[in-house]
Structure 1
Amino acid sequence: MALNKSDLVSAIAEKANLTKADAGAAVDALQAVLVESLEAGEAVKVTGLLSVERVERAARTGRNPRTGEEISIPAGYGVKVSAGSVLKKAVQK
């Protein structure tokens, strides 16, 4: 089972004693801050929970799975998400 955005908003509203509208606004604000920070090349770290950072990917050669033809993949950026200690402990139970 996966927790979708609507479920997340409902759970946050209940735990924080907020309206669903306020919880939805908080989730949307978190998303906006993450996107803006990563676009600027800044890492976001929530101690104990997670860290998110933009990482550089070097140019490389790949292979088209249909034809087997080699293709050139240009350099770019990716996102690295690391779990903090609280999340790591939660999955050990």
Structure 2
Amino acid sequence: MIKSELIDKLAEANPHLYHRDVERVVNAILDGITDALARGERVELRGFGAFSVRHRPARTGRNPRTGESVSVKEKHVPFFKTGKELREKVDASREEVEEV
């Protein structure tokens, strides 16, 4: 699912809200998460999961095409850890698919 599909689905589920308002809410949530991560903060959505930033130190990598050693700079990358409820729901839905 892409962001526009999420917005459409939420707008359908909430017909009392304008589509543009649903879009603003989704964008505000995503912008809030992005801004918090940019400040190095952790964002936890109970039952869904937690977003955090992890530090990756500088290292020597390899160019897969040429095999040449390449210096990779240190960086900070976003990380998502699923919550217990989300893991259980995904696992239960996978079991249903496997039974069919």
Q: Which residue does the alignment assign to 2:8?
A: 10
Structure 2: give runs of 5+ residues left out of the alignment: 93-100
Residue in 2 aligned with 1:60? 59
Is the deviation greater in 16-25 or in 47-56?
16-25
Distance of aligned partners of 1:16 and 1:83 in 2 relative to their CA distance in 1, 3 Å threshold: farther
TM-score normalised to structure 2 length:
0.84
Runs of 4+ in 1 over 6 A off after TM superposition: none
Please report the RMSD computed on the Cα atoms of aligned residues, expressed in angstroms: 1.2
Matched residue of 1:79: which SS?
strand
TM-score by length of 1: 0.90
Counterpart of 1:13, as a letter, is A
How far does residue 4 in structure 1 lie from its aligned partner after superposition?
1.4
SS of residue in 2 equivalent to 1:41: coil
Gaps in structure 1 of 5+ consecutive residues = none
Q: Which has the larger radius of gyration?
A: 2
Instruction: Give the count of matched residue pairs.
Output: 91
Q: Deviations over 1:28-74 (max 9, x none)?
A: 10111011101110010001111100111111110001110011111
Identical aligned residues as a percent: 33
Aligned 1:76-87 pairs, distance under 5 A: 76-87=75-86
Partner of 1:31: 30
Higher mean Cα deviation, 23-32 or 8-17?
8-17
What SS does the aligned partner of 1:67 have?
coil
Determine the C-alpha separation between the residues in 2 that align with 1:89 and 1:15. 24
